[in-house]
Structure 1
Amino acid sequence: MPLRRPLHVPAVLVLLAALLLAVPAAPAAHADDGVRGYVDAHSHLMSYEAFGGQVLCGKPFDPRGIQEALRDCPDHAGNGAFAWFENFMRNGTPFGTHDPNGWPAFKDWPAWNSRTHQQVYYTWLERSWRAGQRVLVNHLVANRQLCEVYPLKRNACDEMGVIRLQAQRMREMESYIDEKNGGPGKGWFRIVRDSAEARRVVQDGKLAVVLGIETSEPFGCQVIGGVPQCTRADIDKGLDEVKRLGVSSMFLCHKFDNALCGVRFDGGTTGALVNTGNFLGTGRFWQAETCTGAAHDNTLASAGTVDDEVAALLLRLGKAGITLPLYPKAPHCNILGLTDLGHHMLQGMMDRHMIVEIDHVSAKAAAATLDVLENAGYSGVISSHSWTDEHYVRRIYGLGGMVAGYGNASDRFVAEWRRNKQYRDPRYAFGYGYGLDANGMGALPPPRAGNSANPLRYPFTSPVNGVVLDRQSTGQRTWDVNTDGVANYGLVPDWIADMRDISGPEIIDDLANGAETYLEMWRRAETR
C-alpha cells in the first residue's frame, strides 16, 4: 500500500508552487516530400485544468466566446491584491495589484512575465500558424504536490485523472476550431497520432498537434521513503492507456525524484523551494554529490556547506533514509539515476514508438537513458526546452534526435542555437525548434535588451512563408514585440522575425527545417 501521512504545510511553502511547473539507423537526406515550418516542441494549452484547476486563469477557448475564455481568476477580483501567487511569480513578492479585467482592455495581462494568465488563446495560436508554425507538441501536465498544497481547487489532484481531462479538452478544442472553419476535419488544428498523419497535416498547410505528457508521478510512480509506489504492470497499463489517448511523447520525471529516475535539480533559491516540495512528496530531500564527469545538474543553494568527509557521511545517512539539505562543493549531480522501473518505462516507450523527452532527468539518468537509446539505435529523443546538460546535445544529435531551445529573448535564443548547432551530426538533416513552455508557469520571451537601436519594424514579412503581419491586436489592446515581448502566443512570429533581423537568414532556415527534422526523427523511431 502506498505510504501516506498528513502534512501540515506552512503557508510559505505553498510558494514552491511557483517553481513546479527544458549505432543509429542509416539516415537519409530530406524526404522527397520534405516540408517547411516551425516547431514548438513544448507548450501546455490545457494546463488551466491542472494543479486543482484554480491556479491558472483563462482558457484557450470557450464555446461561449472570448469574453468567457479570457476572464481572470475569481480570487483576483477587485484590484488583484489577493492574487498572491501571480504577484509572487511575476514580481517576487506576494504583494501587488493588477487590473483583473482581461477582455476587452487587456491592460495588465497577458504579458510576457505574467505566469498565471492565459497565454495561448486559440486566435493567438492561429496567428502563429498562419505565419509558418506547422508542429505543436502540447504536453498534458500535472503535479500532485502542487495541487495538494494550493488552497483552491475544483479538480481532484490525481495526476492521471488530470491527464485524461486535458486530453479530452484538446479534442474539444479541435472540434471547436473545426466548427469555426466549416465543419468536422476542416479546421487548421489537427491532433495527430503518428508521423505519417503529421506529415499529411503539414503538407495540407495545417498545424500538426502532437500530444505529450509532462508530469511528476506518471502512472502513480511516486517514491516514498525510497519505496516505489508503482509496479511494472502499472507502467505497462499506463503506457497502453496514454497511447489510446493519442500521446506520442513523454517525460520520465519532472521536478521531483520519482520511482523512475532522479530529477535534474532547479538551482539557487528556486531549487531550495522545489527541494522542500521533494521532501514533502517523497519524504527525502535531494541527495547530491560533487560530479566527477563533465555533465552536471544545476547547483544547489547550499553548495559547499559541508566538506568531503561530512558529504560522505550524509550519503551514508541517505542510504538509511535520513536526508538533510546540506551539500558538498559544486558541480552537483543527483545521486539518483535511472531506476530498474525507469529502464522498464523507457523500453515500453520504445516498444510503442514514443518520443523520449530527456529534459528534467538528472545527469546520471540522462547518461543511462542515452546509453539505452544508443544500444537500441533509437532516434526518438528530444531536448524540448533547454533542460538537459549541454554535454548531452552531441549524443542526442548522434542518435538522430532533436533539440529545441527555451523561449528566451531573441538574442539569447540565437546564442543558444549557435552553441547547439556546432554539435549537429551531418548524417542527419538539421532543423531547430523552440520550446515556449506557454502556460507552463514560465516566462515567455521578454523584449530584447537595447532593441531601440534596431527594433523590429512593422509591418513585417514572415520569414518562412511571406505572410505580411502588422502589430497584433485583440479587443482594445495592440501589442508590439519591441516593448511587450511575447506577451501572448500571437507574438511568436514577431519574435522570430526579430531573430532574422539581428542574426541573418541562417537561423530562419534552421527553424523552417524544424518540422521536417521532427517528422524524420519520429519516423525513424517508428521504423527502427
Structure 2
Amino acid sequence: MPFRRSLHAPAFLTALAPLAALALLAALALLAALLLAVRPAPPAHADAGAGGEVRGYVDAHSHLMSYEAFGGQVLCGKPFDPRGVEAALSDCPDHAGNGAFAWFENFMRHGSPFGTHDPTGWPTFKDWPAWDSRTHQQVYYTWLERSWRAGQRVLVNHLVANRQLCEVYPLKRNTCDEMDVIRLEAQRMREMESYIDAQNGGPGRGWFRIVSDSGEARRIIQEGKLAVVLGIETSEPFGCRVVNGTPQCTRADIDRGLDEVKRLGIASMFACHKFDNALCGVRFDGGTTGAIVNTGNFLGTGRFWQAETCTGSVHDNTIAPAGAVDDQTAAFLRRLGAAGITLPLYPKAPHCNILGLTDLGEHMLRGMMKRHMIVEIDHMSAKAAGETLDILENAHYSGVISSHSWTDEHYVHRIYGLGGMVTGYGNAADRFVAEWKRNKQYRDPARTFGYGYGLDANGMGPLPPPRANNSVNPLLYPFTSPINGVTLDRQRTGQRTWDVNIDGVANYGLVPDWIADMRNIGGTEVVDDLARGAEAYLQMWHRAETG
C-alpha cells in the first residue's frame, strides 16, 4: 500500500481514501500469514551418542492446531479426524466449486483476491497441499509420521491465535478470545495423542507423545518416539493488549495466566507477536506486507508502528516507504506519537521500533524464568530483544530460543553465549544451509552444538520451495535418511505422489526429502548438526529447568 510523502494531512488522507477498501481486503488476506500411503518400516529406537546423547531432528516451531484459530474458518482441513482421512483433508466450504470465492487463499498465494483452484483434497490432491498454499492443511498426522520415521525426535507445537484477524474475517465458528482458543488447541493436541495411540494398540503406545519436561522428553526419544513440546505464539497473551497506550492487563493477570499455561503443559512462549502489546514492541514486517500488518497494529492498538532511525548495529525490518520524512519531521512525529497521534510515515532506514520491553513485559519474563519456561525471543523488537537478553544474561538463564529466523542476526552470539538455541526458518534447502553456516560461526564451543528448523507449518506462510537449479544435482529416489538409514521413496497419499525436486515441501511428509537434499549441497556436516538438534534442545531445556 503506497503512502504519500507529503506532510499535509488533507493530501495524505485524500491519497489514501481511494485505496481504503482495497487496503482492508489486503489486510484480511495477509495479516494472518504474518502471524501464524505405503509407509517404510518403523525405525529402531533412536541412536544414542557418547554419554547417552539422543539423536534426532528438531522442528522448533510449527502449528498443528491452527485450524481452530482466527475464528476456525480460515484454514482448511485438520491434522486428524476420527472419521478418517476423507473428513480431515477436505477443503473449506467457501472454496467449493472452482475456488473462485477463496479470496483469502488467492490473495495469500497469488497476491490477488481473484483465482481458482481444484478444491478436491483426498484422494486426488490436484492443487493442494502445495508449498505455497497458505490456507490448506500441511501437517496431516501420517505426513508427520513419515518425518518421525526418518529421524525427527522433537516437535515444538505452538498454540496460536490472533483476535484481530478473527474479528475482521467474516466467517467464524469459534470465539475470538485468544486464551479460549489456546485452551481449545491444547485440548485438540491431547485428542490427537489419544487418536494416534488408538492406531497403535492403545493408551501410551503411540509414537506421538506430549511431554512436560526435558527428562520426560529424553525418555520418550530414547524409546524411539516423537517428543511433542507445547508452546504459545499469540499477540495478546493473558489479554495483554494495549489500547491508545493503556495496558489492558495487570501483573495479577499475568501471574494467573502463567500458572494456567503451566497446568496446560506449556513449556515455551512468546511475549509478543506481530502487534505491539502491553508487554513489548514487535519486530516490524517489511515492504507491502509490513504496510498491511501496520494497519492491523492500528486497528488493534489505536496506533501505527512508531519507528526511529537506528544508531547501533541491531535493527528491525525496514518499513516502507523508508525515508518518507526528514530527521526534523521524524522528531516531530515522535512527539506526536508520545501524545497518542501516529501516522504511517517514517524516517530513513535502518528502522527500530521505539518500543521495548515494558514493566509488565519484564514481569512476565521473570515469571517465565521462575517457572523454568523457554523464552521465545523472535518477534520482539530489537530494543525489546536486547533488554530481554540483558535480563537473561544477568540471571545466567539459558532457556532462550530464536526458533524461526525472526530476530536480528547480531543477537545470535548472545543467545548461544547464554546456552540458548537458534533454529532456521524453513527456506529452500540451499538458503537454509547458508543460514546454518552463518549461525554456526557464533556457537559456544564449550556446549553441544545442534541445529534445527522452525518450519512454521500451518502458520500461513510458505513451506520450503523447490531448490533453484536442482536439476544439476537433484535428490535421487529412493534415498536413505541421513540419520537412521531408513529408505524412503517418493511420498504418496491417495492418488498423489510428490517429488521434492518438483514440488518442494508440499506437506510435512516431505521434510525428510528436504533434509536429504541439504546433504547434496551442504555435505554431511549440516545433517550431522541437524541430527544433534534434539540433544542440543534437551540440554538447553534442562538448563532452564535447573538454572
User: TM-score if structure 1 supplies the norm length?
Assistant: 0.96
| Residue matched to 2:28 | 14
| Residue matched to 1:503 | 522
User: Compared with structure 1, are the counterparts of its residues 16 and 446 closer, same or farther at alpha carbon in structure 2 (3 Å cutoff)?
Assistant: closer
Tell me how far apart the structure 1 counterparts of residues 248 and 32 of structure 2 sit (CA, whole Å). Answer: 26
Tell me how far apart the structure 2 counterparts of residues 15 and 509 of structure 1 sit (CA, whole Å). Answer: 39
Tell me how far apart the structure 2 counterparts of residues 13 and 364 of structure 1 sit (CA, whole Å). Answer: 26
Question: Does the 8 A contact of 1:17 with 1:150 survive in 2?
Answer: no
Tell me how far apart the structure 1 counterparts of residues 491 and 55 of structure 2 sit (CA, whole Å). Answer: 24
| Residue matched to 2:39 | none
Tell me how far apart the structure 1 counterparts of residues 493 and 440 of structure 2 sit (CA, whole Å). Answer: 37
Does 1:116 find its partner at 2:116?
A: no
Tell me how far apart the structure 2 counterparts of residues 106 and 327 of structure 1 sit (CA, whole Å). Answer: 45
| Residue matched to 1:35 | 54
Q: How does 1:188-199 map to 2 (within 5 A)?
A: 188-199=207-218
Does 1:357 find its partner at 2:339?
A: no
Letter of the aligned partner of 1:400 in structure 2?
Answer: G
Q: Specify the SS of the correspondent of 1:451.
A: coil
Does 1:314 find its partner at 2:333?
A: yes
Quote the offset at 1:486 in angstroms.
0.2
| Residue matched to 2:241 | 222
Letter of the aligned partner of 1:393 in structure 2?
Answer: V
Q: Specify the SS of the correspondent of 1:212.
A: strand
Does 1:74 find its partner at 2:93?
A: yes
Tell me how far apart the structure 2 counterparts of residues 220 and 457 of structure 1 sit (CA, whole Å). Answer: 50
Quote the offset at 1:427 in angstroms.
1.3
Quote the offset at 1:12 in angstroms.
4.3
| Residue matched to 1:3 | none
- Once the two structures are superposed, residues 441-485 of structure 1 have per-residue CA deviations (whole angstroms, 9 ceiling, x without a partner) of 000000000001110000000000000000000000000000000
| Residue matched to 1:25 | none
- Once the two structures are superposed, residues 331-356 of structure 1 have per-residue CA deviations (whole angstroms, 9 ceiling, x without a partner) of 00000000000000000000000000
Tell me how far apart the structure 1 counterparts of residues 91 and 261 of structure 2 sit (CA, whole Å). Answer: 31
Quote the offset at 1:101 in angstroms.
0.4
Tell me how far apart the structure 1 counterparts of residues 406 and 524 of structure 2 sit (CA, whole Å). Answer: 26
Tell me how far apart the structure 1 counterparts of residues 215 and 409 of structure 2 sit (CA, whole Å). Answer: 31
Letter of the aligned partner of 1:417 in structure 2?
Answer: W
Letter of the aligned partner of 2:27 in structure 1?
Answer: L
Question: Does the 8 A contact of 1:462 with 1:493 survive in 2?
Answer: yes
Question: Does the 8 A contact of 1:130 with 1:467 survive in 2?
Answer: yes
| Residue matched to 2:278 | 259
Quote the offset at 1:302 in angstroms.
1.6
| Residue matched to 1:212 | 231
Which of 64, 67, 90 is 2:83 aligned to? 64
| Residue matched to 1:26 | none
Q: How does 1:351-500 map to 2 (within 5 A)?
A: 351-500=370-519
Quote the offset at 1:20 in angstroms.
3.1
Tell me how far apart the structure 2 counterparts of residues 414 and 32 of structure 1 sit (CA, whole Å). Answer: 28
Quote the offset at 1:502 in angstroms.
1.4
Which of 236, 260, 268 is 1:249 aligned to? 268
Q: Specify the SS of the correspondent of 2:471.
A: helix
Quote the offset at 1:218 in angstroms.
0.1
| Residue matched to 2:253 | 234
Question: Does the 8 A contact of 1:21 with 1:440 survive in 2?
Answer: yes
- Once the two structures are superposed, residues 416-443 of structure 1 have per-residue CA deviations (whole angstroms, 9 ceiling, x without a partner) of 0000000001111100010000000000
Quote the offset at 1:31 in angstroms.
7.4
Tell me how far apart the structure 2 counterparts of residues 473 and 451 of structure 1 sit (CA, whole Å). Answer: 21
| Residue matched to 1:27 | none
Which of 70, 76, 98 is 1:51 aligned to? 70
Which of 364, 381, 393 is 1:345 aligned to? 364
Tell me how far apart the structure 1 counterparts of residues 222 and 348 of structure 2 sit (CA, whole Å). Answer: 52
Q: Specify the SS of the correspondent of 1:119.
A: coil
Question: Does the 8 A contact of 1:128 with 1:489 survive in 2?
Answer: yes
| Residue matched to 2:45 | none
Structure 2: gaps spanning 5 or more residues: 1-19, 37-48
Tell me how far apart the structure 2 counterparts of residues 31 and 310 of structure 1 sit (CA, whole Å). Answer: 61
| Residue matched to 2:161 | 142
Tell me how far apart the structure 1 counterparts of residues 298 and 215 of structure 2 sit (CA, whole Å). Answer: 43
Letter of the aligned partner of 2:530 in structure 1?
Answer: L
Does 1:516 find its partner at 2:535?
A: yes
| Residue matched to 2:118 | 99
Quote the offset at 1:10 in angstroms.
4.3
Question: Does the 8 A contact of 1:18 with 1:89 survive in 2?
Answer: no
Tell me how far apart the structure 2 counterparts of residues 526 and 33 of structure 1 sit (CA, whole Å). Answer: 20
User: Compared with structure 1, are the counterparts of its residues 251 and 31 closer, same or farther at alpha carbon in structure 2 (3 Å cutoff)?
Assistant: farther
Overall identity of the aligned pairs, in %: 83
Question: Does the 8 A contact of 2:30 with 2:108 survive in 1?
Answer: no
Quote the offset at 1:501 in angstroms.
1.3
| Residue matched to 1:300 | 319
Question: Does the 8 A contact of 1:302 with 1:325 survive in 2?
Answer: no
Question: Does the 8 A contact of 1:19 with 1:274 survive in 2?
Answer: no
Letter of the aligned partner of 1:501 in structure 2?
Answer: N
Q: Specify the SS of the correspondent of 1:136.
A: strand
Tell me how far apart the structure 1 counterparts of residues 468 and 25 of structure 2 sit (CA, whole Å). Answer: 36
Quote the offset at 1:21 in angstroms.
1.8
Quote the offset at 1:33 in angstroms.
1.6
Quote the offset at 1:13 in angstroms.
3.5
Question: Does the 8 A contact of 1:20 with 1:143 survive in 2?
Answer: no
Letter of the aligned partner of 2:469 in structure 1?
Answer: G
Q: Specify the SS of the correspondent of 2:135.
A: coil
Q: How does 1:126-137 map to 2 (within 5 A)?
A: 126-137=145-156
User: TM-score if structure 2 supplies the norm length?
Assistant: 0.93
Structure 1: gaps spanning 5 or more residues: 1-6, 23-29
Q: Specify the SS of the correspondent of 1:137.
A: strand
Q: Specify the SS of the correspondent of 2:267.
A: strand
- Once the two structures are superposed, residues 182-238 of structure 1 have per-residue CA deviations (whole angstroms, 9 ceiling, x without a partner) of 000000000000000000000000000000000000000000000000000000000
Q: Specify the SS of the correspondent of 1:32.
A: helix
Letter of the aligned partner of 1:479 in structure 2?
Answer: W
Matched residue count: 515
Quote the offset at 1:18 in angstroms.
4.3
Letter of the aligned partner of 1:20 in structure 2?
Answer: L
Tell me how far apart the structure 1 counterparts of residues 244 and 375 of structure 2 sit (CA, whole Å). Answer: 27
Question: Does the 8 A contact of 1:380 with 1:525 survive in 2?
Answer: yes
For the aligned residue pairs, the C-alpha RMSD in angstroms reads: 1.2
Tell me how far apart the structure 1 counterparts of residues 400 and 364 of structure 2 sit (CA, whole Å). Answer: 14
| Residue matched to 1:174 | 193
Letter of the aligned partner of 1:14 in structure 2?
Answer: L
Query: Runs of 4 or more off by more than 6 Å in structure 1?
Result: none
Quote the offset at 1:525 in angstroms.
0.5
- Once the two structures are superposed, residues 370-406 of structure 1 have per-residue CA deviations (whole angstroms, 9 ceiling, x without a partner) of 0000000000000000000000000000000000000
Quote the offset at 1:16 in angstroms.
3.9
Tell me how far apart the structure 2 counterparts of residues 401 and 208 of structure 1 sit (CA, whole Å). Answer: 19
User: Compared with structure 1, are the counterparts of its residues 11 and 112 closer, same or farther at alpha carbon in structure 2 (3 Å cutoff)?
Assistant: closer
Quote the offset at 1:280 in angstroms.
0.2
Question: Does the 8 A contact of 1:263 with 1:360 survive in 2?
Answer: yes
| Residue matched to 2:9 | none
